[in-house]
Amino acid sequence: MTTSRAELGGTLYDIAVLGGGPAGLSAAVAAATQGSRTVLIEAGARPGGQYWRHRDGDDGALHHGWGQFRRLQRKSAAHHLLDHRFGHSIWHVERTAEGFVTHTTCDDVPRTLRSRTVIVATGAYDRQLPFPGWTIPGVFTAGAVQALLKGQGVLAGKRIAVAGTGPFLLPVAAGLAEGGATVVGVFEAGRPTAFGRHPIATLRNLPKLAEGAGYLSTLLKHRIPYRTRTTVVVAHGTDTVTGATVARLDDQWRMVPGSAREIDCDTVAVGYGFTPQTEIPLQLGCEMARDADGSLVARVDSRQRSTADGVYLAGEVCGVGGAQLAVTEGELAGLHASYTTHGSSVDRRRLTLLLRRRAAQRSFAAAMHQAYPVRDGWQSWLDEGTTVCRCEEVTAGTIREAVGDLGATDPRAVKLYARPGMGLCQGRVCGYATTCLVARANDRQPTADDLRGMAARPVAQPLTLGALAAGDDDNSS
């Protein structure tokens, strides 16, 4: 799509920050403080993103770093150079002669915002692995359970099994237990003791260690079993979850024969890490890479610049690493983008501090990815009839047939032959699993190109045809 200058009115911002989570909020405050005319655009009704998702009047009891959030939020709200567009869903960003045009919809009304530079901070969403029964109502992603609790104060169920891999399972289980649910167990597929191989990264991030210890003590207080090298491999039920099967896993995550047992639960919360939201960097032609955790991420240099001119990136869109890393990267992106766009001076001492902090936080993230890898053996939990793409009801068997019988060598070809990723979510849910299944059936590991094939979406967020048609009007805001 191209938008001519004549169609656009309104302010030309120095910087548009796309996404109001920890990274975007920090970037917007830094940019405005440096004297750049900035706009923060966020789909949600308020800032905070996933980590600081909250309700009106929230006292922060469920949050870490709440004081830091409140400080950023206050600065953001008060700064005369910083405008906010909450409730604006960004569906496309295009390059123009003067910089960028960000296309959004708000209450189904299309809007455009012009800026000289963009900082993309669109974060990540849950990474899901299919298993028999995962489409039964009552099976949630761990992030969805957490979002319900933090955003609405709602418990997803009464007797909840938390399963998957990674440290994120801990706050989810701790939050549910403190909220009044019975957590029947945390089933960690990996071996968290592998963290012990990274003592330096751990010691450089003591607050993270303290946060983890806090969650573990909550688990102890509520007598929640924590089982490692174990996960939920089947969810049972028809209209709702009535139980689950958990099994021990070997080093490659294949089930240990004879180890499967049924547990009684009405809800399963599953999390296997996160998938960065890369639609906008892909739209803007940023170079991508496959990160240590197997995700597709946008590449950045030491200044948080992408490979596309005028496009900065911060937070999980350029690598999953937690909220504190997102805040640091956000501030760095805000400072550097301001310097480039607006010529503002940079406080060298602050910059040095931020660079050191980012290095420490990135080393912790790297240790986390090494300690909690997703192993291929999850594919052996699936039978041929297990649904992988729930939108188009495509099974694991159909995907394997597309490779074995039709000769598809990459996920895009499988998408064309068998339709996984063609439905409403456009591969957001099944993209990772499909990519892994196709690579494995071709006897190889997934590549960045495979992941890109399932992640490229010219329309980043759903919008109605009415909004699209109305977009021809001059309605800049």
Ligand X SMILES: Cc1cc2nc3c(=O)[nH]c(=O)nc-3n(C[C@H](O)[C@H](O)[C@H](O)COP(=O)(O)OP(=O)(O)OC[C@H]3O[C@@H](n4cnc5c(N)ncnc54)[C@H](O)[C@@H]3O)c2cc1C
272 binds ligand X (CB under 6 A): no
Applying CB under 6 A, the span of 124-132, 241-249, 304-312, 462-470 interacting with ligand X comes to: 124-132
Applying CB under 6 A, among 15, 90, 396, 441 the residue interacting with ligand X is 90
322 lies in the site for ligand X, by CB under 6 A: yes
- Interaction between residue 82 and ligand X (CB under 6 A): no
The least CB distance from residue 19 to ligand X, in Å, is 3
Q: Which is nearer to ligand X, 22 or 471 (CB)?
A: 22
Residues paired with 270 in a beta bridge: 141, 163
Is residue 289 within 8 Å of 300, Cβ to Cβ? no
Binding of residue 311 to ligand X (CB under 6 A): no
Dihedral class, residue 45 (left if φ above 0, else alpha if ψ from -120 to 50, else beta)? alpha
Q: Positive or negative, the Cα torsion across 219, 224, 230, 236?
A: negative
Site for ligand X in 274-293 (CB under 6 A): 274, 277
Two tokens, residue 104? 């959004």
Q: Is 433 in the site for ligand X (CB under 6 A)?
A: no
CB of 8 to ligand X, least distance (A): 19
Closest by CA to 247, choosing from 187, 192, 193, 190, is: 187
Interaction between residue 319 and ligand X (CB under 6 A): no
How many binding residues for ligand X (CB under 6 A)?
Answer: 35
Q: In angstroms, what is the minimal distance from the CB of 172 to ligand X?
A: 7
Encoded one letter per residue, x for contact with ligand X by CB under 6 A and - for no contact, window 26-55 reads ---------------xxxx----xxx----
Query: Nearest approach, Cβ of 168 to ligand X (angstroms)?
Result: 6
Quick one: angle between helices 431-441 and 396-404, nearest 10? Answer: 40
For residue 388, what is the enclosing H or E element?
strand 387-389
Binding region for ligand X (CB under 6 A) out of 116-124, 216-224, 288-296, 395-403:
116-124
Least distance (Å) from ligand X to the CB of residue 296?
15
* Per-residue buried b or exposed e for 116-153, using 16+ beta carbons within 10 Å of the residue's own CB: bbbbbbbbbbbbbbbbbbbebebbbbbbbbbbbbbbee
Is there binding between residue 133 and ligand X (CB under 6 A)? no
Asked whether the CA dihedral 352, 356, 362, 366 is positive or negative, the reply is: positive
Select the residue interacting with ligand X from 122, 230, 231, 395 (CB under 6 A).
122
Query: By C-alpha distance, which of 234, 264, 260 is closest to 249?
Result: 260
List the one residue from 14, 15, 16, 21 that touches ligand X (CB under 6 A): 21
Cα distance between residue 458 and residue 436, in whole Å: 23
Short-list 389, 413, 392, CA closest to 403? 413
Nearer to ligand X, 31 or 396 (CB): 31
CB burial of residue 6 (10 Å; 0-12, 13-18, 19+) = exposed
| Residues at the site binding ligand X, with contacts judged by CB under 6 A | 19-24, 41-44, 49-51, 89-90, 121-126, 143, 146-147, 168, 171, 274, 277, 315-316, 322-323, 326, 460-461
